Structure 1
Amino acid sequence: MDLFSDESDNEMYEIGVFDSEGIVDTENRRLYNRINYRSEFSDSEFTYRFRLNKTSVDELLLKITPSLKVISSRNNGISPLHQLLLTLRFYALGTMLLSVADFIGVSKASASRIVHHVSRAIAGLYPQYVKTLSNTQNAFHEIAGFPRILGAIDCTHVPIQLLDSNIGEEYRNRKGIFSMNVQGVCNADLLFMNVVARWPGSAHDATIFNNSRLKMQCEEGLFGNRWLIGDSLYPCTSYLLTPLLNPTSVAENHYNEAHIKTRNTIERCFGVWKRRFPILSLKIRVAMQTTQAIIIATSVLHNICRLNNIRDVDPEVAMPQESGDITYAEGIGQQNHSVRQQLINNYFSV
């Protein structure tokens, strides 16, 4: 059957409701009419509901279909296309699984399995779409004159609902909310180049970086003489530049101003990412492994949207007000201010 065809999915089909003895209750059997959403919606309506346009959905489906299977033992199984659309709808609404299950026409249990499998399949594309780029410095320099910037780094909290009683307080962040603390690095065009989604909300930003493969790559000189740029939660090193907490000269103030404008790219990147996929702001209510897969999968989808110039779309649901990240006096780890001071003297002195 054609992966992109909904020909067989326009027919009525039914989902049985089982009683306590496992016997189908025919009186409560539910009928669904699975809709061909690719023909039902215009291009703009489709993008608004699924956050990707039709062309990108088709291309993505080709890449992930080998990792999926038609779910259900019934003749009218859930096609890979409908599995993908259900998952994208879940990302767009950030709501209960039952709502998106009804939207596509499956049971809640099937919706849960679909979101898990599709999210893992999309996350598997991470090496293809989320990677360090070699030509980032020129675009960063155009923002505020900051030289040789590899990428802007920061962390953002993704709220979660814990479903496992064996884990708990380590996921409570300093604002009292259960969350994952997610590290991201982007270029000047708001493309993710690195995403780490395995740390609980109580983890310090610098701790995440200090235990990352990215730090090891920086220390090995893999990126040459380019710098990461981050806020004061990070230690200032020879490869990661942070702002001065108490600038005293004109040059130091110029440095801080340029630093803020340049580092703002990662904050904008997080904002665009979360507005396109509101599930990242509305408390993810699935198992931890699925939560991590969703975070990585949406970062892949974000890059697909940026690379294909898919217009930014407003959230379909009300979004919580984002409050500023918690700040610390200084980053954790050994500080090395000499490189930063040399940069200030060479580039930002009047």
Structure 2
Amino acid sequence: MDYINIIEDDLGEDAIEDDLEILDFVGIGFPRRFNERPNYYQEMDPLGFFRRFRLTKATVLHLLILTEDQLEYPDNRNNSLTPMNQLLLALRFYASSGHLAQVADFMNVHESTASRVVAHVSRVLAALRPQKVKMPEPQESVRVQNEFYNIARFPKVQAIIDCTHIKNSIPCWTRGDNAEIYRNRKSFFSINVQCLTDARLKILDVVARWPGSVHDATIFANSTIRARFEAGHFPGSVIIGDSGYGLSNYLMTPLANPVTPGEQLYNEALIRTRNSIERVFGIWKRRFPVMAYGLRLKLVTNFTIIVATSVLHNIAREMNEPEPPIPEDINEEELNYLIETQQIEFEAQDHPGNNVVQNEIIRYFGQL
């Protein structure tokens, strides 16, 4: 139907302009408006970019090369976001205190769009896990053990294991009858995340699917990495954990009451070496503050974000990225407090006596 002709015939040409405004109002021929999107990669200075997105421009460009094929839309209908803007939106969310509305305003998009983009980009980044978050190959074992040995002379170490809690701020009633399993020993809802790290402060393995109430030792007992050690995939190697884990021939834990000089040196070396994983958790959460403030999206998306940021952490280590300054809108003392309180210690496990591997290492320290 020709609406312009109808208006001319019934009301005359003088009324056309006013009536077209009415037609636009009721949705006939209403022109769509598209927000102008900022180009932060081009417009922002390097320090400001690093502060807000937590990675340098060179590393973000490297990320774009790795992910562009998965982020590219098949056409430009509806003024779709470019791969770079999608990537920057997700990075800005990881650098925030977890409020989507704030990130959406910063990127000049609707909050629902920001939510979809964060989820999609996180899935794409998490898909890089097999290449970026992995245990060393057998031919690398000697190098890894030497790097750990150089810290405190503890021999045979392949990795350090520990768990950290990521606040899970979804309202508890959205999880039905299972809500309370996410409440940890410090009474806040969280996801208990198991990590293995190396002496270069990279994450070698991450398990991000267990509720906050689950014991660290339970997560390890049900993990793939335990099965691999049990199957002998890492011969002659051990991992180091705290006293919350059970002692075994491949998992070394501190002695409760060291007496001899060898036992005391064993404990000191183990504690100094194990400090590497505490540093990893601090660097990881300071680079991506959302990991300390808490995740407020769907539970499955929260799991994906944890894996995605572990991938980004490793890429940052590979690119020799310095630690970025604290974002301007985040209080440094508050962030540090959150990181410290998310480490939860469990009671010491009952350790069997006369462990062959542990005794061998204690004898080694006794000869120093």
Aligned to 1:218: 229
Change (3 A) 1:297 1:336: farther
Following superposition, the deviation at residue 308 of structure 1 comes to 0.4
Aligned to 2:122: 119
Hey, which of these two has a bigger chunk of helix by percent?
2
CA distances 1:137-165 after superposition (whole Å, capped 9, x unpaired): 11100100001110111000000112523
Matched, 1:174 2:180: no
1:98 pairs with one of 87, 96, 101: 101
User: Partners in 2 of 1:124 and 1:302 — Cα distance?
Assistant: 14
Change (3 A) 1:78 1:332: farther
User: Partners in 1 of 2:67 and 2:351 — Cα distance?
Assistant: 40
Following superposition, the deviation at residue 73 of structure 1 comes to 7.6
Equivalent pair of 1:71/1:79 in contact (CA under 8 Å): no
Matched, 1:141 2:144: no
Equivalent pair of 1:83/1:114 in contact (CA under 8 Å): yes
Matched, 1:159 2:162: no
Change (3 A) 1:348 1:107: farther
CA distances 1:130-188 after superposition (whole Å, capped 9, x unpaired): 11122311110010000111011100000011252324100000000100000011110
1:323 pairs with one of 341, 344, 349: 341
- The answer to which of 184-193 and 70-79 deviates more is 70-79
- The answer to which of 83-92 and 322-331 deviates more is 322-331
Equivalent pair of 2:194/2:216 in contact (CA under 8 Å): yes
User: Partners in 2 of 1:278 and 1:126 — Cα distance?
Assistant: 21
Aligned to 1:19: none
Task: Look up the SS of the partner of 2:49 in the other structure.
Answer: helix
Task: Look up the SS of the partner of 1:33 in the other structure.
Answer: coil
Normalised TM-score (structure 1): 0.87
Following superposition, the deviation at residue 72 of structure 1 comes to 9.7
User: Partners in 2 of 1:86 and 1:335 — Cα distance?
Assistant: 53
Aligned to 2:83: 80
Structure having the higher Rg: 2
CA distances 1:55-79 after superposition (whole Å, capped 9, x unpaired): 2212212222222243998442111
Change (3 A) 1:324 1:250: farther
Aligned to 1:308: 319
User: Partners in 2 of 1:341 and 1:293 — Cα distance?
Assistant: 41
Aligned to 2:58: 55
User: Partners in 2 of 1:301 and 1:348 — Cα distance?
Assistant: 41
Equivalent pair of 1:151/1:185 in contact (CA under 8 Å): yes
RMSD over aligned CA atoms reads 2.4
Equivalent pair of 1:152/1:266 in contact (CA under 8 Å): yes
- The answer to which of 129-138 and 181-190 deviates more is 129-138
Equivalent AA in structure 2 for residue 288 of structure 1 = L
Change (3 A) 1:139 1:107: same
Matched, 1:108 2:103: no
Hey, which of these two has a bigger chunk of strand by percent?
1
Aligned to 2:355: 337
Following superposition, the deviation at residue 346 of structure 1 comes to 2.2
Change (3 A) 1:324 1:37: closer
Matched, 1:65 2:68: yes
Equivalent pair of 2:191/2:209 in contact (CA under 8 Å): yes
User: Partners in 2 of 1:95 and 1:211 — Cα distance?
Assistant: 30
Equivalent AA in structure 2 for residue 130 of structure 1 = V
Structure 2 unaligned residues grouped into runs of 5+: 1-25
User: Partners in 2 of 1:79 and 1:152 — Cα distance?
Assistant: 39
Following superposition, the deviation at residue 229 of structure 1 comes to 0.4
Equivalent pair of 1:92/1:315 in contact (CA under 8 Å): no
CA distances 1:261-287 after superposition (whole Å, capped 9, x unpaired): 000000101110000000001011000
